Chains A and B, each alone.
Chain A
Amino acid sequence: MEDMEFESRYKIDKERLSKYYERIKSHDKEKGLVDHITNFLINQSISSSFEEVFDTLKYYEDKIVEGRGLLDLAFEWIRAQKIRLEYKKYLIRAQYPTNDLCLAVDDCLYRFFLSYDEYIRNLFKKDIREHNFSALYEIFFNTFDEKSLIIEDIVQKHIHNIPSHYYGSNKINTNVMTLRQGLSNIIVKDYVNVLSARKEEEVSNSIPVSKKTIDESEDSNLEKIIKIKNEITEKKGKEWLGLQITTENRLESLLWYLEHPKLQENTKLLEEIIELYFFAKDSGFTKMEGIIRKLDQLNITFRKFD
């Protein structure tokens, strides 16, 4: 897939992001490039700690191809979250026979990450070794909440498992092996989470109807939830034009919680979320404080949206 085709498929608003980065840079002129870009990424909800982002950027700094820079890598880190979201949406709907985990890995690698590998390699020098790519994939596509993504540890883990091969002086393409090394565990973990969420939903659905208290307000809530889900997924309407990426991410987090089976059992909480969503929407999503507070609460009650 050509680069432009890939970029339009997983589009990020580079112009808006660049302006935002310039603002960060102008606020603290004394700090260096890596500090600025780290702050920029942290403010875009990338990674959970300053050190992790800073160290990762420092590690890859000298591996970027001439003519491109760390800011390009930062943009790609943001784009990776977009790809992860699309991949997760696909995985949530996937029905692999006998819950075959190898099939889940192969299918996702082929559908999402093979073309990504081709694309992202253009950002790096031709002679960099394969473990750097598998380490990058582990960092870019991992969840930020469960464990530390310390670049040195990750590289050490990959260096022995994914050697680079040469035929004479030419590097042999082993991209599929690199992808498997970097992403297999992530895909397996994500799919196992999908399976357990489905199981929980099954248990919830198996409760006899007579025990459930169905009333008009529940029906009405259900309709509203469907409406919210459609709006967040389709992103149509004037409110969505020029929306900040952080706001968009927060609304997508909200969508994730709305689909959480446990939330369906808590009518009061559902009603609060619905109210907060429509309040924020009426303000063109400028008044997001209520949603932000609710997301924090949901994070504690359930688990963090990645």
Chain B
Amino acid sequence: MNNNERILGLFYSDKNNLIFDKIKFSEDLSEENKNNLDMVSYKFLGPVFLTTASNKEENWKIELIESSLSHYQGKVSDVIQSFFSLNSSVNSGDGVTNLFVLIGSQHTEDIKDINEILANYIHPSIIQGKIVNENLLGSRFDFYKFITSELDRGLHLIDYALGSSRKVHWEEQHNYSCVGVIERIKSDGKNVTNLYTYDENEPLRREALKFIPSYYVMCILPDYYETLINETLHLFNKKSVFADIRLIHLNDDINKVIFLEEFSVKNEIKTSYGVILVQDKDNLSTPNKISFYRKNLRLILDGYKDIIDILPIMNEKFKPKKWGTLTDEGLNNIGEILDSINN
């Protein structure tokens, strides 16, 4: 895969949720795929809007969605190592705007650097450029022309920054409390998706709701984005790889939530276990480092432990009750019971 075959898209949504996009197409992409890719921006930004509007005062932002990529057995035609999306959400006074980048690359990529370009340069350029140009040009200001040009510049800047390996940056160490475990099992014709968490009557369940968008949203995100990333890979003709969600970062300026997932494939059954982690909230469970959760997820997937044995290790207050998340009925149940602050 040369640089022209990278997956790269930049999407901007204005305060009215109107979406403008710029996608880098490789030359051999069919017209049909190009047309289908037109909807990609709407699909990727959909949960961003949903999360923002999760009937709470806080504005939740999806910061990062990262998937791990694996080759289907016997197929190694696409050399692609990383697939991730970064989102910058800014409330600039007259509304929230989002700038979302979609990247698939043959390198592991320095995500922090790309995130800083997105959040500190490209997004401010758009917001500030609109203010300055509106002021200078008045009614002659053509927003469509402006945003097309800015997205083009932004796309080129990100494209130029790509092609490096991931660097380890110094970051403050945090502890995390687990507020939910999501189990996803996929085999031909049969999918199972469950949430394990506190009992509905556990006071800590209500307390945890203060620090996450909602259980409903957290249950939707992994499956939604995994399916969407696989669909996107397909549209970009990367047909020898499949994706599994690895990380989702969300924040509401005060709280930070991480969804961390590990997976394994055995006998054509793909099993994934993920944890919903809340940063630095010691009252929700015994806090642990991310590596602790990753290690315990691997213990389940590698068959050393059963999910029921691991649940009290993740959070001593968890109950082995399964909350189905596959159907609308199951999700509504979660929305009505687990997301209720009254019962």
Name the one of A97, A167, A174 contacting B128, with C-beta atoms under 8 angstroms. A174
Q: Given A114-B120, A161-B136, A167-B93, answer yes or no on A106-B156 (Cβ-Cβ < 8 Å).
A: yes
A180→B133 CA distance, assembly (Å): 13
Q: Given A102-B156, A163-B132, A165-B135, answer yes or no on A110-B124 (Cβ-Cβ < 8 Å).
A: no
The 0/1 profile, CB within 8 Å of B marked 1, for residues 67-102 of chain A is 000000000000000000000000000001100101
How many residues on A have C-beta within 8 angstroms of the other chain's C-beta atoms?
22
Chain B at the A interface: mostly helix, strand, loop or mixed? helix
**A110→B157 contact, CB < 8 A:** yes
Contacts of A172 in B (CB 8 A): 128, 131
B45-87 at interface with A (beta carbon < 8 Å)? none
Contacts of A163 in B (CB 8 A): 132, 135-136
A169-200 at interface with B (beta carbon < 8 Å)? 172-177, 180
Name the one of B125, B128, B135, B156 contacting A100, with C-beta atoms under 8 angstroms. B156
> A107 at interface (Cβ–Cβ under 8 A)?
yes
Chain A contact residues, CB within 8 Å of chain B: 96-97, 100, 102-103, 106-107, 109-110, 114, 161-163, 165, 167, 172-177, 180
Contacts of B124 in A (CB 8 A): 173, 175-176
Chain A at the B interface: mostly helix, strand, loop or mixed? helix
**B132→A97 contact, CB < 8 A:** no
Sample of 13 more A-B contacts, CB < 8 Å, known A162-B132, A173-B124, A177-B132: A97-B159, A97-B160, A103-B156, A103-B160, A106-B153, A109-B121, A161-B136, A163-B132, A163-B136, A167-B93, A174-B128, A174-B132, A176-B124
B126 to chain A: closest residue by CB: A176
B93-144 at interface with A (beta carbon < 8 Å)? 93, 117, 120-121, 124-125, 128-129, 131-132, 135-136
Give the contact-size bracket for chain B.
10 to 19
Nearest CB of A to B338, in Å: 40
Contacts of A103 in B (CB 8 A): 153, 156-157, 160
Query: How many residue-residue contacts, CB under 8 A, span A and B?
Result: 54
Contacts of B128 in A (CB 8 A): 172-177
**A110→B135 contact, CB < 8 A:** no
Nearest CB of B to A266, in Å: 36
Contacts of A174 in B (CB 8 A): 128, 131-132
Contacts of A100 in B (CB 8 A): 156
A107→B131 CA distance, assembly (Å): 22
The 0/1 profile, CB within 8 Å of A marked 1, for residues 132-168 of chain B is 1001100000000000000001001101110000000
Contacts of A96 in B (CB 8 A): 160
Contacts of B135 in A (CB 8 A): 163, 165
**B156→A165 contact, CB < 8 A:** no
A260→B277 CA distance, assembly (Å): 57
Shortest 4 CB-CB contacts between residues of A and residues of B: A174-B128, A110-B121, A177-B132, A106-B157
B302-327 at interface with A (beta carbon < 8 Å)? none
B120 to chain A: closest residue by CB: A114
Contacts of B132 in A (CB 8 A): 162-163, 165, 174, 177
Contacts of A165 in B (CB 8 A): 131-132, 135
B125 to chain A: closest residue by CB: A176
Nearest CB of A to B48, in Å: 23
Contacts of A107 in B (CB 8 A): 157, 160-161
Contacts of B93 in A (CB 8 A): 167
Nearest CB of A to B328, in Å: 42
Contacts of A102 in B (CB 8 A): 153, 156
The contact sample of 25 A-B pairs, CB cut-off 8 A, is A97-B156, A97-B160, A100-B156, A102-B153, A103-B160, A106-B125, A106-B156, A107-B157, A107-B161, A109-B121, A110-B157, A114-B121, A163-B132, A165-B132, A165-B135, A173-B124, A174-B131, A174-B132, A175-B124, A175-B128, A176-B125, A177-B125, A177-B128, A177-B129, A180-B125
